[in-house]
Amino acid sequence: MPLRSPAGFISAFFDPLKNPNAPTIGTATEGDTTASVTFTAPADVGGSAITAYFAVSNPSQITGTAATSPVSVTGLTNGTAYTFAVWALNSYGPGAFSAASNSVTPAIPPRGVFAGGQGAAGAYSVIDYITISTTGNATSFGTLLLPDASSALASACASSTRGVIATGGDPGTNTLEYVTILTTGNSTDFGDLSQSKQGTAACASSTRGLFGGGSNGATYYATIGYITIASLGNTTTFGNLITATKVLSSCSSPTRGLFAGGDTGSQTNAINYVTIATTGNAVSFGALTVARYNLASCSSSTRGIFAGGYGTGFSATIDYVTIATTGNATDFGDLSVARYYLGACSNSSGGVQ
């Protein structure tokens, strides 16, 4: 960091006794190629009012300016760590630098991506995204590789950088598509499922994605396939669910995947589990409190949640399990409205269905 402000800010009336004191540094907060730097104005503004504040990055000496706190600094490089110091300017010249701020690393903020689905006019191949930390309408991300008709009853899983979508349609497709979550654009072919089907359930660890169950017309599947999310290719056989099931739900911890409920020819309350890193058939975990299909699930790193669905009617039931400990689900509470075909997500590790 330079010891004084750039010479271009030295006034013809420069008088170090009348320059402002240093601001008190506050907190730097990162954004996408940006940072916002807060500060407290100096009590001693010098011989005249402060006309501007400047925040300077270390490294690279990238500067932003503002009339008051905070100062936005743009043009930063995502993935590079920066600290900032702030100085004030009045008509007599620049003041001293503040202390350095905390270190921040600019990055694109976390995104949620939504793909496919069905509405009043039929199925849609659209992909939308949101910035999770900012409210507002979804923004167009791109479109799925397959046409609208193949986009209903899709499922998806993700790593921190890539989302993989199993498209659905009627009676089903075997196509896997992927997007790079931080880069908008149309989806790209990833590989194929082992069967053409719809209504699969998907979950993931940080590196591996699982797709289980589903149906193709009258045929129900028990198969579970897995992918390495960072590597394109077809699914590899992982094992089988205990029973062939469609429109089931799935969630995961970093190590264990759960498949719950669904339609086996009638509604089921079964919960199966697998260890994601180890191939093999699913094992009984326990049972939901209510048998139902088209339910939704989400999870933290330790607890799985299953909500809604259709059993003897539309369900408002929310169940939970401790993912590391086998056993029947416990009643968590109720949704505000009984319904199915809902979606779920969480701000922690876990699959989304």
- Give 234-262 pLDDT, tens digit per residue: 999 999 999 999 999 999 999 999 999 99
Section 89-94 average pLDDT: 92
Highest mean pLDDT among 105-109, 150-154, 262-266: 262-266
Answer whether 85's CB lies under 8 Å from 7's CB: no
- With a cut of 80, say whether residue 339 has pLDDT above it: yes
- Residue whose tokens read 């890539």: 162
- Under DSSP, the state recorded for 309 is -
Q: Given a cut of 80, is residue 350 above it in pLDDT?
A: no
Pairwise CA distance, residues 5 & 307, whole Å: 59
Residue-level pLDDT at 12: 53
Higher per-residue confidence, 353 vs 180: 180
What is the per-residue DSSP string for 17-38?
Answer: TTSPPPPEEEEEEE-SSEEEEE
Residue 309 pLDDT: 95
- In this prediction, residue 116 carries a pLDDT of 85
Mean pLDDT over 256-279 rounds to 97
Q: What is the pLDDT of residue 2?
A: 41
Res. 147 pLDDT band, cuts 50 70 90: confident
Cα distance between residue 265 and residue 43, in whole Å: 75
Least Cα distance to 201 among 343, 21, 35 occurs for 343
Rounded percentage of the chain residues whose pLDDT exceeds 70: 93
- Integer angstrom CA distances of residue 260 from 199, 268, 279: 13, 8, 19
State the Rg of the chain over Cα: 27
Banded model confidence at residue 120, pLDDT cuts 50, 70, 90: confident
Residue 121 structure tokens: 């006019």
pLDDT over 50 (residue 127): yes
Mean pLDDT of the 339-350 span: 74
Establish whether domains 7-94 and 241-353 are of one fold: no
Closest residue by Cα to residue 308 from 269, 352, 333, 342: 342
pLDDT of residue 275: 98
Q: Where are the domains of the chain?
A: 7-94, 241-353
- pLDDT tier for residue 343 given thresholds of 50, 70 and 90: confident
Least confident among 1-10, 86-95, 132-141, 202-211: 1-10
Q: Are 57 and 102 in contact (CB under 8 A)?
A: no
| Structure-model confidence comparison of residues 351 and 48, the more confident one | 48
Asked whether residue 76 carries a pLDDT value surpassing 60, the answer given is yes
For residues 116 and 69, which has the higher predicted lDDT (pLDDT)?
69
Average pLDDT, the chain: 90
Q: What does DSSP assign to residue 76?
A: P
pLDDT at 351 over 90: no
Peptide bond into 106 cis (omega under 30): no
When pLDDT is averaged across residues 72-76 and rounded to a whole number, the result is 97
CATH superfamily of 241-353: Kelch-type beta propeller (2.120.10.80)
CA distance 246 to 144: 22
User: 109 vs 252, which has greater pLDDT?
Assistant: 252
User: Which of 122, 205, 112 lies closest to 168 in space, CA to CA?
Assistant: 122
Model confidence, pTM: 0.78
Cα of 240 vs its chain's centroid, Å: 28
pLDDT tens column, 161-189: 999 999 887 788 899 999 999 899 999 99
pLDDT at 121: 80
- Please state, in angstroms and rounded to a whole number, the distance separating the CA atoms of residues 335 and 314: 11
- The reply to whether CATH 1.10.1740.10 applies to domain 7-94 is no
Supply the pLDDT for residue 9.
Answer: 56
For residues 38 and 134, the model is more confident at 38
Please report which confidence band the pLDDT of residue 352 belongs to, taking 50, 70 and 90 as the band edges: very low
pLDDT at 3: 39
